[in-house]
Amino acid sequence: MEPYDFIVAKVQEAGDILLAARDAGFETNTKKGDARDIVTSVDIAVNDFLKKEITTAFPGDSIYSEEGGAATASARLWIIDPIDGSANFSRGIPHFAICAGIMEAGVPVLGVVFNPVTHEMFSFKKGGGAFLNGKPIQVSTIAELKDAQIFLHAGRKPEGWQWGGDSYRKLLEHARKTTNLASSSLDTCFVAAGRAQGNIYGTLSTLDIAPALGILYEAGGVASNSKGEPLTYSEEPQRIYMANNQPMLDQLRTLLESN
């Protein structure tokens, strides 16, 4: 099976596993003693299912998972985040997603972000467009921050709290709407689909959401680090700006990175 069709089908199956495990009851734990970094037994179940299916179908490929690390290097790297938004999931908030895709030569080439509760499947193929349940999507044309809806996520680390508080105050003053939905891949896809105009993370691993960034780019969106430089894909947390267009990105960075 062609990799795009394969990952769409397997992520849908993983969604069924996720919902069944949720309804049967699950355990909630934390990572590395951080009470704000949630992982559940359902994360592990979905992760194990997807890794097994990918390994069986594409035995020569590598797999990177937020819950399971990286396999041996190869030309093609599969990315898995079994539940992006585990804190939401653990509390019964239906804003979370399974995020999966492929990188080649360090660039996302296809991927999906699937919310099994709402049955929304965002997807992309590099050079072939971005889609929501098979229908093309594009970013919005809004270019002024005063008219924009912005997602802001300061992060869990104490060193980001001052910046996050200052940034929230600035956005309250300058943007039409500021909120935090807490699923990085879904929030990115909401910008791709024109539902919001900006998505800012104080600390985020770009590798974890590489499939969602591929969707954003294919829908016409842009992203950068805090210095305005193109994003690199890394496990290391970094400050990320995403927007529907360059003027919006520039306004956000100017507003939040100036002293």
Whole-angstrom Cα distance, residue 59 to residue 57? 6
Q: Is 203 helix (H, G, I), strand (E, B) or coil?
A: strand
- The pLDDT assigned to 231 comes to 95
Q: Residue 110: which of 130, 135, 138, 93 has the closest Cα?
A: 130
How many degrees, rounded to 5, is the angle at CA 84 between CA 159 and CA 124? 115
CATH superfamily of 3-136: Fructose-1,6-Bisphosphatase, subunit A, domain 1 (3.30.540.10)
Domain boundaries, the chain: 3-136, 145-257
Q: Residue 240: which of 191, 195, 206, 194 has the closest Cα?
A: 206
| CB 76 within 8 Å of CB 62 | yes
| CB 63 within 8 Å of CB 55 | yes
Using CA atoms, how far residue 175 sits from 6, 90, 163, in Å, is 40, 30, 17
User: Which H or E run contains 216?
Assistant: helix 210-218
Per-residue pLDDT of the chain (259 residues; tens, 9 = 90+): 899 999 999 999 999 999 999 999 988 887 666 656 678 899 999 999 999 999 999 999 999 997 765 555 568 999 999 999 999 999 999 999 999 999 999 999 999 999 999 999 999 999 999 999 999 999 999 999 999 999 999 987 778 889 999 999 999 999 999 999 999 999 999 999 999 999 999 999 999 999 999 999 999 999 999 999 999 999 999 999 999 999 999 999 999 998 6
Fold that domain 145-257 belongs to in CATH = D-Maltodextrin-Binding Protein; domain 2 (3.40.190)
